[in-house]
Amino acid sequence: DAGVIQSPRHEVTEMGQEVTLRCKPISGHDYLFWYRQTMMRGLELLIYFNNNVPIDDSGMPEDRFSAKMPNASFSNLKIQPSEPRDSAVYFCASSTQWGDSRINTQYFGPGTRLTVL
Amino acid sequence: QQPVQSPQAVILREGEDAVINCSSSKALYSVHWYRQKHGEAPVFLMILLKGGEQKGHEKISASFNEKKQQSSLYLTASQLSYSGTYFCGTVSRLGDMRFGAGTRLTVKP
């Protein structure tokens, strides 16, 4: 199993540009999570999906951020327009579910380091 | 709400023990523990599902007090490889998951 795959691994862009981060979860996993990690704010949950449906997006910082999961094997996180304060490491994680729909162990991807100049 | 972890940081000598605590204001269904080394992604350590449940992996174990909505991670006879930031993740009875701010553990020779 290849694990959770994220691309790109590093992204450097200028303020105002659109940024798209991509994630391929582990095959068969029902849950997909997007996290942002910074020194100041730690690991923040942005949004998560269950069976491709967004369940909780309360962590999405503002309208500039959007995430979609068009199918079970792909999700993307877009920032438009990007700002310097969006600089962070963005992790994608996937998980299976228990029989009663509880979240199981999360497997994290390697992360995308985003720098907005 | 984010679970609260304590301490924020701890420095140990090899062979010493440490305890990391995690508490939540919500009724919990499960607690997850992860370790993250610098520049890497968080890696799963263990999950606790039932109140009072204790699990262990080598010399790292954890307990879950469902009534107090707390979990503790125990590191016994610490090794250099234990260094990293430890996160607890709590899953509430409503199904939402949140991570604590992390505890930075440094083990020195």
pLDDT digits (tens, 9 = 90+) for B34-59: 999 998 999 988 888 766 666 666 68
CB proximity B84 to A under 8 Å = no
Nearest partner of A42 among A91, A95, A76, judged by Cα = A91
Which residue has better confidence, A20 or B59?
A20
Nearest to A25 by CA among A94, A107, A76: A94
Residue matched to tokens 């992790």 = A91
Calculate the average pLDDT of chain A: 91
Confidence of residue B101 (pLDDT cuts 50, 70, 90): very high
Share of chain A above pLDDT 70, in %: 94
Top-confidence range, A97-101, B64-68, B71-75: B71-75
A43 contact B CB<8A: yes
Residues 6 or more apart whose CB falls under 8 angstroms from that of B30 comprise: A102, A103, B47, B48, B49, B64, B90, B91
**With an 8 Å Cβ cutoff, is A70 touching chain B?**
no
Closest to A72 (Cα-Cα) out of A51, A94, A93: A51
Residue B96 sits at the chain A interface (C-beta within 8 Å) = yes
Distance separating the N- and C-terminal Cα atoms of chain B: 37
Question: What is the pLDDT averaged over residues A19-28?
Answer: 97
Strand A103-108 to A74-79 pairing:
unpaired
Structure tokens at B72: 């503790």
Contact (Cβ atoms closer than 8 angstroms) between residue A32 and residue A91: no
Of B30, B34, B97, the CB nearest to A45: B97
The per-residue DSSP string of A33-93 comes to EEEEEETTTEEEEEEEEETTEEEE-TT--STTEEEEEEETTEEEEEESS--GGG-EEEEEE
Contacts of B97 in chain A (CB under 8 A): 33, 45, 48, 103, 106
Within 8 A of A48 by CB-CB distance, chain B residues are 97
Give mean pLDDT, residues A29-43.
Answer: 90
Q: Which residues of B touch A106 (CB under 8 A)?
A: 32, 34, 42, 44, 89, 97
Q: Which two tokens stand for residue B54?
A: 């204790």
Q: pLDDT averaged over chain B?
A: 89
